[in-house]
Amino acid sequence: METTAPAMDVLLHITIADAAPVAAALGRALGRVGATWSCFLTNDGVKAVENPEFRAAAGSAARIVVCEHSWDQHMAGKDCPVERGSQTVNSALMAQAARVVSL
């Protein structure tokens, strides 16, 4: 059976807003070492996109996706500055990641 290499090194899975500073630090570190990384934000973790440090660190990410349902629930009426996606997108990102860090 032939296997393929993961499409990304790390997926940050953010589920709480308070994780934004930690996610920012991890994102900066991943960017410094040239890792391929993405981020999926769900529950009130979608609020992390308002954190300036997280937004700056996210510049080196391949993808930043928020759960569209969580965005509507916690950020209603605000424009979403990143990609909106479903939990199906979350599952696909997890399948592509060599490692998942859940915050």
Domain ranges, ordered by start, for the chain: 8-102
As a CATH number, domain 8-102 is 3.40.1260.10
Query: Residues of the chain whose pLDDT is less than 50?
Result: none
Beta bridge partners of 12: 39, 101
HEC string for 63-78? EEEEEHHHHHHHCCCC
For 86, list phi and psi in degrees, rounded to 5: -95, 175
Instruction: State which H helix or E strand residue 54 sits in.
Output: helix 52-57
| pLDDT value for 2 | 56
| pLDDT value for 81 | 96
